Amino acid sequence: MSVEHPTPDSFRRRAVACSALLPGLGQAVRGYRLHAAGIFIATAGLLGCAALLETAAGWTSAAFFLMLLVLPWWVIQTYGASLPDPLGWQSTLRATWGHGHDIRYLGALFLLTALTDLYIILARPDYALTVFCLKPGGAWGVLAKAQSPTLHLLIGYGFLRLRRWSLLLYLAYAAFGLMNASANYACFGYGRIRTVFLLSLAAFTLYILWRRHCFAPAPPRAPL
């Protein structure tokens, strides 16, 4: 009776599953032991930094660090386990960068934020969003709260598809967010959440502008 050997594609899929479970494991399964050790050490260092940050600044800062650094690192090394031979830092980063997967990851974060916003709105109907130092009520208050998950959903979908319209929509959203946060900062002074939002939005915007060439116009429709 003949024994079926796994195909290269199935072998790489198995490696991806291993790296998703434990960073570096898929690379080790494929025989890249030194590369796998580097991934494991880097992951342990990032998780250690998150633990120290949680002790020093609280769980919200640690969660922000996990979302912005640890999770994308976990995703990138998992993606790296699927690449053809030879594996290594250079090939993984080149493939991630060349295919715009960093922008796609930001799109996934926007979708997650949309779900979080929607949960807050439904769980706390009395919550009022501060817009240019005011907290509108009634229909205007509902519209002010509804725009956040709606915009995050549209931007997230567009980023996942690398559509140019989502870049323009994000820039408009960022301009409004920066002006609103600056006005609230002037009215209410320093606040940790307000400060983190303002700085992170500015950093995100600069990064997305730097990577703006990743966005492509929608493909033309086939003639009827």
| Whether the Cβ atoms of residue 112 and residue 157 lie closer than 8 Å to each other | no
Q: Please tell me whether residues 124 and 203 are part of one structural domain.
A: yes
Give pLDDT tens digits for 162-193. 999 999 999 999 998 888 888 877 777 777 77
- Inside any domain, residue 67: yes
Q: Please tell me whether residues 111 and 177 are part of one structural domain.
A: yes
Q: Which of 80, 97, 114 is the last residue of a domain?
A: 97
CB atoms within 10 A of CB 61: 15
Give percent of the chain above pLDDT 70.
89
The pLDDT of residue 222 is 52
Q: Which of 67, 97, 127 is the last residue of a domain?
A: 97
The pLDDT of residue 219 is 61
Give pLDDT tens digits for 118-159. 888 777 777 767 776 767 767 776 777 788 889 999 999 999
Q: Please tell me whether residues 63 and 129 are part of one structural domain.
A: no
In whole angstroms, how far apart are CA 78 and each of 5, 27, 40, 46, 96? 23, 9, 12, 16, 11
Q: Please tell me whether residues 163 and 203 are part of one structural domain.
A: yes
The pLDDT of residue 221 is 60
The pLDDT of residue 6 is 53
User: Who wins on pLDDT, 8 or 51?
Assistant: 51
Q: Which of 97, 128, 148 is the last residue of a domain?
A: 97
- Checking if the pLDDT of 34 tops 90, the result is yes
Backbone angles phi and psi of 87, in degrees to 5 = -85, 155
Q: Please tell me whether residues 117 and 14 are part of one structural domain.
A: no
- Inside any domain, residue 221: no
pTM: 0.79
For residue 91, what are its two tokens? 């090939």
Q: Please tell me whether residues 57 and 147 are part of one structural domain.
A: no
Rounded distance between C-alpha atoms, residue 204 and residue 197, angstroms: 10
Q: Please tell me whether residues 148 and 66 are part of one structural domain.
A: no
Q: How confident is the model at residue 46 (pLDDT cuts 50, 70, 90)?
A: very high
For residue 179, what are its two tokens? 């002006």
- Inside any domain, residue 33: yes
Q: Please tell me whether residues 110 and 201 are part of one structural domain.
A: yes
Domains identified in the chain, total number: 2
| Whether the Cβ atoms of residue 31 and residue 88 lie closer than 8 Å to each other | no
Mean pLDDT of the chain: 84
Q: Please tell me whether residues 142 and 63 are part of one structural domain.
A: no
Give pLDDT tens digits for 50-65. 999 888 877 877 888 8
Residue 210's domain comprises 101-214
Q: Please tell me whether residues 146 and 62 are part of one structural domain.
A: no
Give pLDDT tens digits for 155-169. 999 999 999 999 999
Give pLDDT tens digits for 196-213. 778 888 888 999 999 999
Q: Please tell me whether residues 118 and 195 are part of one structural domain.
A: yes
CB atoms within 10 A of CB 214: 19
Q: Please tell me whether residues 187 and 108 are part of one structural domain.
A: yes
